[in-house]
Amino acid sequence: MVDLLPQSNLTFHKVERTMKRQGETAVESSDISRQSLARLMRSYLADEISAFRFDESLQAFSATKDPVVREVACLLWYFYDDLTDHHVRLGKPEWDLNQRLLLVLESDCRVETDVKRIWSFRQLLALAALLLFAWAAYVTGWGDHIPLVAFPFGLVALALLSIPPESKSNDDPFQPIVWPFASFADLARAYDSSNFRKTRYPKEVERRFEDFRKQADRFWSLRSQNGTLYFSLMFCSPFWLVYLALPETRRSTLFRMD
């Protein structure tokens, strides 16, 4: 799967919001077809609805028996913020990806999903560091000094975080511009089998995305400058080591044309 999406599953706040909003959607449960999801997407991309309304309406599609609809609805959750209401703000690659998701809904595709647990040398190092921290905490005893014991292990966590993840095999040079389709041939067949026409990237969306990216860069720059990130890494290193010791979950979704 192309790296336009995060590798982890949906974030906790999205799951929590979904649970709170069950039964409170803007889409009737009887209207959860591919066509209705495509209409909802077009409304959001055309600035007719904002992120909150889009999020509410997406909940109904999780109950469908159509795996294509479920997968597309799941992927869409990565393209908006459900904690702050806003209109569509996507970069050009993400906009093009949403256009291909619309093509998926308007063609006779089938979906293939694959979930893998990836173990690497980084997880073994993190586990060894975690066991060493547990031993140090046992020897020194539990008390207010534990954050100081954890501090040097933060350096280990920082070093492990700097190790790039295992590269993915990508035999198809067209994958970055055809995903979520399995191949360029599948993408071409989808176009041939439908009346889909791609919508050009709007200048207003581009401007909105650039403003949002500048704000995000400024936010993370300030967090880095005041040491908040490094402070949490150093003194909360056991939690980071637990995270790093877990296997990487790699989930791939591909759509094919029969």
Q: What is the pLDDT of residue 222?
A: 56
Q: What is the pLDDT of residue 239?
A: 86
Q: What is the pLDDT of residue 117?
A: 86
Q: What is the pLDDT of residue 180?
A: 92
Beta bridge partners of residue 257, listed in sequence order: 109
Q: Average pLDDT per run of 10 along the chain, which is 258 residues long?
A: 42 41 45 90 95 92 90 91 88 95 93 86 91 90 82 85 66 79 91 91 92 74 57 76 87 87
Q: What is the pLDDT of residue 96?
A: 95
Query: Domain ranges in the chain?
Result: 11-88, 91-258
Q: What is the pLDDT of residue 174?
A: 73
Task: List the end-to-end C-alpha distance of the chain, in Å, as a whole number.
Answer: 20
DSSP the chain: --TTS-SS-S-HHHHHHHHHTTT--SS-TT--SHHHHHHHHHHHHTTSS-HHHHHHHHGGGGG-S-HHHHHHHHHHGGGS-SSS-------HHHHHHHHHHHHHHTTTEEEEEEEEEE--HHHHHHHHHHHHHHHHHHHH-SSTTHHHHHHHHHHHHHHHHTSPPPPPP---TTHHHHTTBSSHHHHHHHHHTS---PPPPPHHHHHHHHHHHHHHHHHHHHHHHTTHHHHHHHHTHHHHHHHHHSPEEEEEEEEEE-
Q: What is the pLDDT of residue 81?
A: 84
